[in-house]
Amino acid sequence: MWNFPFVPPTASKEGEGISLLYWTITLLAVVFGSIVLFGVIYLAVRYRADNNAVDRSNATESDLRVELAWTLIPLVLALVMFGWAAKLYADIYAPREGYYEVFVIGKQWMWHCQHPNGVRENNVLTLPAGRLVKASIISQDVIHAFSIPAFRIKRDAVPGRYNAMYFTPTKPGEYHLFCTEYCGTKHSEMIGKVIVLPEKEFQAWLEKGGQGLATATTGMGGAATGGALTLAQQGEQTFKALGCNACHLNPNSAVKVPDITKTWGSDIPLADGRTVKGDEAYIRESILNPGAKIHAGYQNLMPPYQGQVSEEQLVQLIAYIKSLAGDSSGGN
């Protein structure tokens, strides 16, 4: 009929639920809006001042049954919509297991994406169909928002903080990728595409180091590189380049340092008596500003690396530290 896209295609499992909820709420709004609109028109015409055909004596002032009906029915409907929406929200933002993780870094004005096996893409994100994906999102400068309308998902890219989002692409194809938070002069150019491949093609693409896919290397400045080293191996290189191994992982170190092979996933006692989880946020903070949370029993001797490591390098270093603890989700 029309070739006018009122709504983007729905290409993720979570998006299907959101689309259904969206159309249900729209339908309810139309139904209740119509009842009010046509009710007002009908009553205004029937009870107009000069209509003598109606009997105005013994007018009913209130009817408890009507009051209860128009209070309880909308209340129940609203609570059902709330519960339904909360479930869909939790599917996307609450931690889930068994995912393929990608790291997304927003910066003025591009999207930089990293895969665990070391493949990197700019303004393009290639994903497998039918698999749960976790996107870990951070910004290198100002607040951006990572949005894929076809998946019905969006999450802010905030400086200094890893935000996660879970979704399952369903249909192979190409979809828009947007920044949906005004972030400066070229905000409107901070766009790209998401390419969803069937699982087998995706694996082949990853193994070829992100090459061999014509669409990924053309247009919008997108190009995939790397793949020779996994993210964790790149992290190891960065670790050595920054000289971290002078103290850490060095049995002959003159400086007493916490054992970073045990950092990931453990409960870390702090000098001030608190306990923190050894997660991405803790590792990131301890690299940039080691004095913020001192491990109990150690002194604040490490220099801060604020301004010396990029967000890409931080993602690599975290993958490396994860791999030291035996967690291979960083691609080792």
Stretch that binds ligand CUA, among 58-66, 179-187, 236-244, 302-310 (CB under 6 A): 179-187
Q: List Cα–Cα distances, 192 to 184, 216, 223, 271, 284, in angstroms.
A: 17, 11, 11, 45, 27
Amino acid at 131: R
The site for ligand CUA, by CB under 6 A, has a size of: 9
**Residue 179 binds ligand CUA (CB under 6 A):** yes
Q: Is the dihedral of CA 311, 264, 250, 290 positive or negative?
A: positive
**Residue 144 binds ligand CUA (CB under 6 A):** yes
- Kindly state the DSSP code that residue 126 receives in the 8-state scheme: E
**Closest distance of CB 109 from ligand CUA, Å:** 6
Single out the residue of 138, 190, 194, 231 in contact with ligand CUA (rule: CB under 6 A): 190
Q: CA-based diameter of the chain, in Å? A: 104
Which C-beta is closer to ligand CUA: that of 144 or that of 248? Answer: 144
**Closest distance of CB 184 from ligand CUA, Å:** 7
Copy the structure tokens of residue 165. 């989002």
**Residue 293 binds ligand CUA (CB under 6 A):** no
CA proximity to 101, closest of 232, 261, 277, 233: 232
**Residue 187 binds ligand CUA (CB under 6 A):** yes
**Residue 192 binds ligand CUA (CB under 6 A):** no
Single out the residue of 181, 236, 280, 311 in contact with ligand CUA (rule: CB under 6 A): 181
Which C-beta is closer to ligand CUA: that of 183 or that of 260? Answer: 183
**Residue 156 binds ligand CUA (CB under 6 A):** no
Which C-beta is closer to ligand CUA: that of 25 or that of 158? Answer: 158
Q: Where are the alpha helices (DSSP H) in the chain?
A: 13-46, 64-93, 199-207, 231-241, 280-288, 311-324
Q: List Cα–Cα distances, 161 to 48, 105, 142, in angstroms.
A: 62, 11, 12
Peptide linkage before 109 cis (omega within 30 of 0): yes
**Residue 183 binds ligand CUA (CB under 6 A):** yes
Q: Is the distance from CB of 44 to CB of 93 less than 8 angstroms? A: no
**Residue 149 binds ligand CUA (CB under 6 A):** no
**Residue 169 binds ligand CUA (CB under 6 A):** no
| Residues 99-118 interacting with ligand CUA (rule: CB under 6 A) | 106, 109
**Closest distance of CB 190 from ligand CUA, Å:** 4
Stretch that binds ligand CUA, among 29-37, 71-79, 181-189, 251-259 (CB under 6 A): 181-189
In what side-by-side order are the strands of the sheet with 124-128? 124-128, 192-197, 173-179, 144-148, 153-157
**Residue 236 binds ligand CUA (CB under 6 A):** no
Q: Which residues bind ligand CUA (CB under 6 A)?
A: 106, 109, 144, 179, 181-183, 187, 190
